[in-house]
Amino acid sequence: MSYVMPVLNEETDLEEAVNAVLTQDYPGQTELVLSLGPSTDGTDVIAARLAAADSRLRLVHNPEANISKGLNLALRATVHPIIVRVDAHATLSDGYTRAAVRTLHRTGAANVGGVMSAHGKGAVQRAIAVGYNSRMGLGGAAYHGHGEAGPAESAYLGVFRREPLFAVGLFDEGIARGEDWELNLRLREAGHLVYFDPDLTVTYWPRASWGALARQFHATGVWRGELVRRHGASNSLRFFAPPALVLLITVAIIVAVLQATGVLHGWLGLVGSLAYAPLGLYLALLLGTAVSAKNAGGLAARVLVPGVLATMHVAWGTGFLRGVVTGGEGTVDTSRVRIEDPAAG
């Protein structure tokens, strides 16, 4: 079994992620290839220490922060017929590999993925985790825990058969975000099955600050806009909700200014006020998500949920509009460049 893990500034979570891989109960030989990006914290020191202590762990160096290039470097260094993608800020559940391979064989899929279960260690990170886990936050994709077992558009991380993965050309190194969705699109277009299994769970540790969250979602939105430029109708309609929100907010601001200056008055002013109604509904949905959220971890995190959701949507939506107009080239996710202490949330 081969595992690949791209790594950049992950000193907080790396050791836990590696241990969760190396303690999987899957029989047979195991290798874990870490693709080390240009970290500025203690990540490389931790990786070297772990590699020296366990011969199953190997290191390759990725001089760029491009995740697709890092993944491909690691993939080309593997030798086994089944490959599991892991992230350094994610922890595989016990028995994950064994269950995933069983599903892979049972369904004949080229790629199997499970649930991204976001968790947090401080109020801000817990609130961000609520955003990840809610339908309101990321649109209800199956791998956020909102779907039933079956064929899927994409898969979180992924447990791949080597042959189809290499046959479609691995990850597109020209894509810096959304690379997993694009790869799964090519697998499906080649006639392969991508399968979602809700019994597979991975603990995901999201960004732990407002600034990092906004930078991450803006970059992700830019690259989704690029993918819309490339693949058009292959993109789900849910990807268009955040940019629609941004445009609606823009219209509402313009109407408010025109009303305040007297340009819009009388019946025109009343008609213009209709632009506020959808925003009122949106705010009600944000508050409803905060009230009904499960596992928010207390009032301190719960009261932050509306702001977290709005940050996700607006950052993603503005990025999307930028990406559709200018493309994604040159946009890099810098949200993990600075070290974050999750307990400081």
Give the tens place of pLDDT for each residue, 9-21: 999 889 999 999 9
pLDDT, residue 142, reads 62
pLDDT, residue 331, reads 82
CB contact set of 125 (below 8 Å; sequence gap of 6+) = 205, 206, 207, 208, 342, 345
Question: Which among 301, 5, 269 has a CA at the least distance from the CA of 130?
Answer: 301
Average pLDDT, the chain: 90
CATH architecture assignment, domain 2-206: Alpha-Beta Complex (3.90)
CB contact set of 104 (below 8 Å; sequence gap of 6+) = 82, 112, 159, 161, 195
Tally Cβ neighbours within 10 Å of residue 69: 20
Give the tens place of pLDDT for each residue, 27-66: 888 999 999 999 999 999 999 999 999 999 999 999 988 8
Count of residues for the chain? 345
Give the tens place of pLDDT for each residue, 77-98: 999 999 999 999 889 999 999 9
Residue 141 has pLDDT above 70, yes or no: no
pLDDT, residue 113, reads 94
Task: Please state the domain extents for the chain.
Answer: 2-206, 228-344
For residues 304-313, average pLDDT: 95
pLDDT, residue 312, reads 96
pLDDT, residue 286, reads 94
Supply the DSSP string of 33-92, one letter for each residue: EEEE---SSSHHHHHHHHHHH-TTEEEEE-SS--HHHHHHHHHHT--SSEEEE--TTEEE
Which one-letter amino acid corresponds to residue 264?
Answer: L
E strands along 64-193, which residues? 82-85, 90-92, 111-118, 150-151, 156-161
Q: Would you state the structure tokens that stand for residue 254, as one six-digit string?
A: 């313009």
* pTM (predicted TM-score): 0.86
CB contact set of 301 (below 8 Å; sequence gap of 6+) = 120, 123, 124, 126, 127, 130
Give the tens place of pLDDT for each residue, 181-237: 999 999 999 999 999 999 999 999 899 899 999 999 999 999 999 999 988 877 788
Residue 341 has pLDDT above 50, yes or no: no
Residue 150 has pLDDT above 50, yes or no: yes
pLDDT, residue 337, reads 66
Distance CA 326, CA 159 (A): 33
